[in-house]
Chain A
């Protein structure tokens, strides 16, 4: 039983139902594993083992009383430090929120509690989810469990690394431009971003509201599907929340749907900038689908190369507006040098925010400022519609789109730290999905020669999660990369 922390939710749910193990045993295994490896991985900003064990105990009591809440009851799930959990710190890995404790649960947390989940720890991230390597955390740099010299990706790097290292059975992250899928790919785990609006953003600290989505990290596609089902809700507390549509029994559907599917391959995603090992790996995955009888369709997403500039205009504009709330007045950091209203704002913000957050606030303020609004922000919003149009056209022909998740495997710490543009290009294959509001999942598709994980991205139609999961599940179950664990 020593490796409970590496099992899947479905395996553990079966063992719990059979009475072979308890939630306390699973939770203790995760706690012990975290104690053993987190000094190396540095995925957690904080954790509360006592609180987790008391939730696990309550779960075991429910099960004994015949009142189990389902397959997630008693499963410890790690939480990214940008989602509100009542009475837990909520710092967004920023000095700005160093002493902030959340007075309420995010809706996605409430939904998971209703399913009996054990809420476990606070996971590191890039400050305010701005970054692609988790090096922008104000507290610590998380290491990729597959090679501790490399970054885990970002911004949800703590969530991905904790999964790969066995420090949680699943985790939650958030994805604004690839912040779930890219770290999932780099850490060799499953990471999924839902259709925009499907999971409530209430209790998620806003970065770019028209792009932000909560989503699961898991060992398997089926586990991710179970978590998604549990978090679905039309939430009156989030005006952009949308009622679930179409097939939403994802876990059941992924076993029933067998294809063959029509899969689109956008040639723009295989050109300049892609690492040759990644390219070969993804082409092999495409060949596998072809061998299963899927029709492979060459498609074009002609505006793809504009997704990065559109994103860094739209996202920074929204961020500069969203982060105006951090003013040193009602919560968060206040400068000791605040002498009047102006210095209260400027000094508190100058001291509280890190470099990347400042960079994006300045950029976002600039593209919204008088004289530049039309040239940047308005033009970016128009090109955004062109990007959506590309996808709409492609989905007239295909059921889903296959691409690499990231152009490169995990890179060395510090390698892109002083080159923001190079860092921004880490998200070149994930960003357009957020701009178009589509669902997408990254699944492990193999390793480089040096042993770093590679991820395959499956992009679905809006509300086409059921098909997307089924397509991803077919590859995963035939290849079994999820059974590979890093040596720590």
Chain B
């Protein structure tokens, strides 16, 4: 990380499943170079042996009994949110050739 890498935006945008115009990509490219350059400050600190911190407090899984049911919603409400739906099912473009 001594040299600030230049982000391959096409590669990353594909990982993120995000369509971007050429104009958006070119503007973002130079901005991201600035931001990544700023991130290099992190190399100034010794983190040898430091435990990574993902959370402010210790967090643990919260379990419940398997047979509990809480409040739920009618299928029409949930499928009704979908951009396209039919017979209480979400409709999507054909995904398998």
Contact = CB atoms under 8 A, between A and B. Distances in A.
Interface stretch (A165-173, A326-334, A444-452): A326-334
A369 B15 contact: yes
A137 to B, nearest CB: 18
A346 B18 contact: yes
Interface string B50-76: 111111110101101000000001000
Given A328-B83, A344-B93, A420-B31, A309 B38 contact: yes
Interface string A382-424: 1111101000000000000000000000000000000011001
A239 to B, nearest CB: 4
A188 B38 CA distance: 31
Interface in B20-53: 20, 24, 28, 31-32, 34-35, 38-39, 41-45, 47, 50-53
A239 B59 contact: yes
A107 interface: no
Contacts of A388: 53, 56
Nearest to A359: B28
Contacts, number: 161
Given A103-B73, A236-B62, A339-B93, A358 B56 contact: no
A381 to B, nearest CB: 4
B19 A346 contact: yes
Contact of A305 (B17, B18, B41, B51): B41
A437 B43 CA distance: 24
A431 B73 CA distance: 38
Interface string A317-342: 00010001001111111100011111
Interface string B69-94: 00001000110011110000010111
B90 to A, nearest CB: 6
Interface in A341-376: 341-347, 349-351, 353, 355, 358-359, 361-363, 365-366, 369, 372, 375-376
Contacts of B81: 100, 103, 330-331
Nearest to B5: A372
A250 interface: no
Interface in A298-328: 303, 305-306, 308-310, 312-313, 320, 324, 327-328
Contacts of A21: none
Contacts of B90: 329-330
A310 B52 CA distance: 12
A382 B45 CA distance: 10
Contacts of B39: 309, 312-313, 376
Contacts of B19: 343, 346-347, 349-351
B93 A306 contact: no
A306 B87 CA distance: 53
B15 A365 contact: yes
B8 to A, nearest CB: 9
Contacts of A383: 42, 45, 47, 50
A248 interface: no
Given A334-B83, A420-B34, A438-B56, 15 more contacts: A103-B73, A239-B59, A309-B39, A309-B42, A329-B82, A330-B81, A340-B95, A346-B18, A359-B31, A362-B18, A376-B1, A378-B52, A388-B53, A388-B56, A436-B56
> Which are the 3 A-B pairs with shortest beta-carbon distances?
A437-B56, A350-B19, A381-B52
19 contacts: A210-B54, A236-B64, A239-B61, A309-B39, A309-B41, A328-B83, A330-B81, A333-B83, A334-B84, A340-B95, A341-B93, A345-B17, A381-B53, A382-B47, A385-B52, A420-B34, A421-B38, A424-B35, A438-B56
Interface of A: 100, 103-104, 196-197, 210, 236, 239-240, 242, 303, 305-306, 308-310, 312-313, 320, 324, 327-334, 338-347, 349-351, 353, 355, 358-359, 361-363, 365-366, 369, 372, 375-376, 378-386, 388, 420-421, 424, 435-438, 462
